[in-house]
Structure formats: structure tokens, C-alpha cells
Chain A
Amino acid sequence: MEIDIEKKCKSRLETTFMGVKLQNPVMTGSGCFAFGLEYMDYFNPNKLGAIITKGLTLEMRKGNNGIRIAETPAGILNSVGLENPGIDYFEKHILPEMNKYLNIPIVGNINGKFIEEYVELTKRLDKIEKIKILELNISCPNVKDGGMAFGANPEIARKVTGEVRKVTKKPLMVKLSPNVTNIVEIAKIAESEGADGISMINTLLGMSIDVKTRKAVLGNIYGGLSGPAVKPIALRMIHQVSQTVSIPILGMGGISNTEDAIEFFLAGASAISLGTAFFPNPMVALEVIEGLEEYCKNEKLNNISEIIGYAHSDNGIDYRKKLKLRK
């Protein structure tokens, strides 16, 4: 998919991500914003660039038992385990609500236990007009089958990306797990299998222990770490991956304010998404969007895309050329 930023941008944040035009490059992290309507008391979600849905599966999933959220220094652990109502319920009850209230692109987050399930779900989502981008989650640390195991195994990652690619023409981004030794390898595989973009990072596998009960806090023992605590890792990985692939990256992991977001663009992300940051600050997305606009103005940028990959040794010039971005 070709990336081409329109010459005359109305807003300095207007962007084209994986061929989809967005009013700004700020999205919501899967699983932290449900289906886009829960934060409506605080701001109008239509101000966002796009909304990424909670991870969807073919069948309804109950998720994991026991405590699912644990706070850790500058982060949280979650072991939700992909609780979601399944694609049928989504289409019947949630999609109509989204259609009613949301007029921005929706990204469908896809999960399966087997490759066949990923493929089947992709076919279903492919038919939904409202969904403009698909995000293939092969990185959830909280499910036993599929999930992270898929993203950590290069051969399975290759297979699932390739198979899903065959059944959809919608822009496809693959969400990478940071729980691997060589994230660049997996990113390259996704690109070679026809992914139009990479989204990274998912949560890092972690643990918390209650000293009183002497047991793990989470019912599922281990959980996924997110929030400010993971930001340096996310930045490093995006910096690495963006220098080796020529498809755009949706960056996430611990972004909680405008400065954090800018760091992600500088590291090589073409768009960013906010997750955990909504919990302490429901207004965070608006603040970041306004902050980015102001940053562009102050730094005399015509468009935020001008700084993508600037932290690379060549000031990101090669990367932007590869992405066919301006400057």
C-alpha cells in the first residue's frame, strides 16, 4: 500500500496511515478503549485519528479468572485474557452503536486460537465497511493458545500473516510482541508476508506478588505490563524495527503525554496509540492531539510526519524516503 501525504494539509496532524486518511495520527490501544463509546462523558471520540477495538475473537470469551489488574511502579499488569463478546454479538449489538456515534475509521483487532480462526475472523471483519484497518494480534501474553505464542514463533508468525493476507484487501497491520529476543526478525517476516504496517508494542510479560498472601496477585499469575514503565523498551524496539522495514509503524507502550508521543515519532512511528494513559487521565487523547498541533506550530513543521524517524542516525531521511513521506 502506498503512503503518500497530501501536499496541502489542512491540519498539521492530518496523515495517511497505511493508505487510510486520518485527521490525526492518534489512536486508542486495543483493550483500553473498549469499542469507542465508554469515554464519551469526557471527550468526543470523533476527535481521534482512529479507534482500535478490543481484541475480537470468533466465539465469545470469558477471559481469565481471579484478579486481572495489578498496579506496579509506573505501570499496570493485566491478565484480562481477551474477554470479548465474540464477533456475532459485536456485529449485532456493538457495531450499530459505533455506527451511530462514531464517524472516524475503526481498526479491528483480530485474535484466534488457531490460524483457521484468525482467517475466519478476518473474513468476517473484511465485510464490515466501518472497519478500515485490521490489526492482527499475535502477541497477547494472556491467552494460552494463539496469542503471544504465535508472535514469538517466526514460522507461525509467517504462516498466520500470510494466510490472513490472502483473505482481505483491507490494510493489515501486525501487532508485535516485545516478549521475543529478536523483534526485528518478526517485523521483517510480517512485512515480507504482505503486512501494510506494524503495530508495536503489546504488553511485556510480568508478575506481581502479594507479600501478605505470599501468592501472585493476578489470578493468571503472569500478566502483561503496560504504562510508562514500558516506554523505554517500546521506543528502543520501534527505533530498531523502523530502520529495517519500509512499512509504517503504529507506536505504543507507555505514552502518557505529548512529549512521550513526540518521542515515538522521532523513534520512527508514523502514528501512535494511547492505552493505559486513559485510566489516570481520561482527557489524555485530546491533550496529546492539541499538544502535537502546538508542537508543530512552535517547531515550524508543516506536518508532524516531518519528524518521523528523526532520531535515526541519518535523521530518519532514509526511512522517510522508504515510506515515501515528505522531506
Chain B
Amino acid sequence: MYKSGINNGNYKCSGKKTGFLEDVTVSENKYLGADNYLMKVFSENVKKQVTNPKAGQFYMLKLRNHIRILRRPISLHSVNFKTGELEFLYKVIGKGTEELSILQKGSILNIQGPLGKGFDIYKKSENIIVIGGGIGLAPLKQLIKELLKYKENKNIIFIAGGRNKEAMNILENFLLDSKRVSTFICTDDGSLGEKLNIAEMLEKILKNNKNPDIIYSCGPDKALKAVNDIVNRKNILSQISMEERMACGVGACVGCSVETVSGMRKVCHDGPVFYSSIFYENRGEINGN
């Protein structure tokens, strides 16, 4: 079985600064349909290369309304180191994300991050599969960009799933014009692409192709569970990005802890990206709820 590579040293402190608090300026906050928004912000720290956010890492966004005291964790969708622009792709599901959605061009937003451990980038692969469902597609743009940086990565299969055609508008912003990426779209109602869920799509693709070197996935609990079952059965190396309720985002409150075969892990600090293998012994309890 694949080793997670994470030892029990989650209390180790490198003394190296990794997270920052920063007031960033919103340069765009666009509605994409189906409650999804794309927000672009300008970060001085990114421009000056003080921080180097990576695919799979996330930021804690501060809300203005003090009644809602917790920040909201949102993944890095994309980063442009030249312009200092960060992109967030988010779905309005409650009051906090609704508050984010009304920010206008020029608004100041306090962000904390980049936080957590992102995806491990494989540099020489025949085949890589990247799977995203719904708003779980958010961290995958940056991931695909980082994978494409390595010419030795020959072929990337991108499976994108969502509720319906409108929900898939988020793909507009993915810039997948590379010949090395083949995109497979599926929707619950079949209004775009095939009428399958992402796990079924994966199953179908695996039937016609040999096993990939690695599968990356991010999406709703149920979909992740189904994907996990497949990769476990076929013994494929896989990383998943997880979600948990967070308070601190830095590993201080243990609010986001999940049980793994090698002990308790904090999603905010040891994740949100994990090797699926660390859940194999207690499958069916991926999210603990």
C-alpha cells in the first residue's frame, strides 16, 4: 500500500513563515451562474514573491459582519505571479459566501494564507487523471497549470462534473487549450456532456485506458468516497482534497481533525490534500460525519 509520507510530527514547527495576513484589493467578482462566483484580487505579497501559493492550498477570507466571527476557507483557484493576481472560485451556500459575493471592484478584503499543504506535483507521468465535482473544481485550475509546467507529463485526463450545464460555466475560466489535456464533462441531468457522476465517469475511463500514475480529486463527500473506493480497488496512487469545518485554519483548535489509519490529522494543517491511502482502513468515514 502507498505510504502517506506523513509522520506523526504534526507539531513540528519549522520556524519558517508560511502564512500571511494581507489586505487585498478586489479587481473582479463575477457571477458565473448556478450560485458560482469568480473573484480576482490583487496581492502585493504575491507580486513581490513574498508568498508562493500552490495548488491545493487555501486562504481564510475575513468577513466584515462581526456577528459571523469565523473566516471562510476558500481554495486557491489560480495565481498569476507576474500580476500578483489571485483567483478564487466560490459557491454561495450561506450568509458568509453571500457576503463575499457582494464585494465590488475596489473593495478591500483581508485574507490569511496560503494555508495547508497542497497537491504533490508529479513531474514525469504517462497519464494523470484530475477529477473535480461541483465547486470541488476550484483548486484544479492551478493544479492543471502546475502539472502542465512539466513537459514530461504526457497526458492529463480531466474529468469535470456538475449538476447541470449552468453549473459547468465555471469551466469557462479553465484555459485548457493544451493538447496534453483531454476533458471529459458529465452532469447529473445530462444537459452537458454525459449523464454520469464523476465516479462513474472515472470507472468508464479506466475501462478503456491503463491505470494512470496518479489520480487527483476534489468534490463532494459522496463522490470522493466513490472515487476512493475505485482507486483503492485498483491500487492507484491518489490524492484528495478534503473539506472540514474550520475555526483557526492553522492547526491550533483541532476543530477540523479527521481520523486516518496513521492517527488524527488536521485538515487545515496536514491537508487539505491527503493521499487517499491514509483513509483505507476506515473507508466510509472519510469526512467523519
Q: Is B71 an interface residue, CB under 8 A from the partner? A: yes
A316 at the A/B interface (Cβ < 8 Å)? Answer: no
Asked if B255 and A78 make an inter-chain contact with CB atoms under 8 angstroms apart, the answer reads: yes
Q: Chain A interface secondary structure, helix, strand, loop or mixed?
A: loop
- Once the chains bind, are B17 and A41 in contact (CB under 8 Å)? yes
B21 touches A80 (CB 8 A): no
CA distance A34 to B246 in the complex (A): 14
Q: Size range of the interface on A?
A: 35 or more
Give the total number of A-B pairs whose CB atoms are below 8 A apart: 117
* CB of A42 within 8 Å of the partner chain: yes
Interface residues of A in 208-256 (CB under 8 A from B): 219, 227-228
Which B residues lie within 8 Å of A94 (CB)? Answer: 11
Chain B 33-52 interface 0/1 with A at a Cβ cutoff of 8 Å (1 = within):
00000000000000000000
Please give the distance in Å from A81's CB to the nearest CB on chain B.
Answer: 9
Most buried by B among A33, A38, A83, A93: A38
When distances are taken between beta carbons in the complex, the residues of chain B under 8 Å from A283 are 21
Count chain A CB atoms within 10 A of each CB in B18, B247, B250, B257 and give the residue with the most: B247
- Bound-state CA distance A74–B68 (Å) is 6
B18 pairs with A80, CB closer than 8 A: no
Give every chain B residue within 8 A of A97 (Cβ-Cβ).
Answer: 11-13
Please state if B245 and A70 are interface contacts (CB–CB under 8 Å): yes
Q: Taking the nearest CB of chain A, how far is it from the CB of B222, in angstroms?
A: 14
Residue numbers in A under 8 Å from B206 (CB-CB): none
A89 to B8, CA, bound (A): 10
In the complex, chain A residues whose CB is within 8 Å of the CB of B245: 67-70
B255 touches A80 (CB 8 A): yes
Q: Mark B246-262, 1 if CB is under 8 A from A, else 0.
A: 11111111111101000
Known contacts A41-B17, A69-B245, A101-B13, A282 near B253 by CB under 8 Å: no
B70 at the binding interface (Cβ < 8 Å): yes
CB proximity to B under 8 Å, residues A56-79: 62-63, 65-71, 73-76, 78
CB neighbours of A85 from chain B (8 A): 11
Q: Find out whether the CB atom of B13 lies under 8 angstroms from the CB atom of A66.
A: no
Q: State the CA gap A71–B95 with chains docked (Å).
A: 11
Among A41, A73, A83, the residue within 8 A (CB) of B67 is: A73
C-alpha spacing A85/B265, complex, angstroms: 11
Q: Is A114 an interface residue (CB 8 A)?
A: no
Whether A74 touches B66, Cβ cut-off 8 Å, given contacts A101-B13, A280-B71, is yes
Would you call A32 an interface residue if the criterion is a C-beta within 8 Å of the partner chain's C-beta atoms?
Answer: yes
- Could you tell me the distance between the alpha carbons of A54 and B8 in the complex, rounded to whole angstroms? 18
- Near A by CB (< 8 A), chain B positions 30-83 give 62, 66-71
Among B17, B20, B253, point to the contact of A80 (Cβ < 8 A).
Answer: B253
The CA-CA distance from A325 to B232 in the complex, in Å, is 65
Judging by beta carbons under 8 Å apart, are A76 and B69 in contact?
A: yes
Once the chains are docked, how many angstroms separate the CA of A65 from the CA of B245?
12
Question: Interface readout for A20-38 with B: 1 if CB under 8 Å, 0 if not?
Answer: 0000000000011111011
Contact assessment for B11 and A62 in the assembled complex, using a CB-CB cutoff below 8 Å? no
Closest B residue to A217 by beta carbon equals: B245
Q: Which residue of A lies closest to B18 (CB)?
A: A41
How long is the Cα–Cα vector from A67 to B8 in the complex, in angstroms?
23
Whether a CB of chain A sits under 8 angstroms from the CB of B241 is no
- Residue from the set B245, B249, B259 with the largest chain A CB neighbour count within 10 Å: B245
**B21→A42 contact, CB < 8 A:** yes
- CA–CA, A280 and B247, complex, Å: 8
Q: Report which of B18, B69, B244 forms a contact with A279, defined as CB distance below 8 A.
A: B69
Please give, as numbers and ranges, the residues of chain A lying within 8 Å of B257 by CB-CB distance: 63, 68, 80, 83
A residues less than 8 Å from B21 (CB atoms): 42, 282-283
Q: Assess whether B247 is in contact with A62, with CB atoms less than 8 Å apart.
A: no
Residue pair A69, B256 in contact (C-beta under 8 Å): yes
Q: Is residue A295 contacting chain B, with contact meaning CB distance below 8 A?
A: no
Please, how many angstroms separate the alpha-carbon atoms of A42 and B21 in the complex?
A: 7
User: What B residues does A76 contact at CB under 8 A?
Assistant: 69-70, 247
For B20, B67, B71, which residue has the most chain A Cβ atoms within 10 angstroms? B67
Interface residues of A (CB under 8 A from B): 31-35, 37-42, 54, 62-63, 65-71, 73-76, 78, 80, 83-85, 89, 93-94, 97, 101, 219, 227-228, 276, 278-280, 282-283
Binding site for A on B (CB under 8 A): 8-9, 11-13, 15, 17-21, 62, 66-71, 112, 244-257, 259, 264, 269, 288-289
6 other contacts beyond A74-B69, A78-B247, with CB at 8 A cut-off?
Answer: A34-B252, A38-B250, A62-B259, A73-B67, A76-B247, A83-B254
A-B contact pairs, 5 of them (CB 8 A): A34-B251, A35-B11, A97-B12, A282-B250, A283-B21
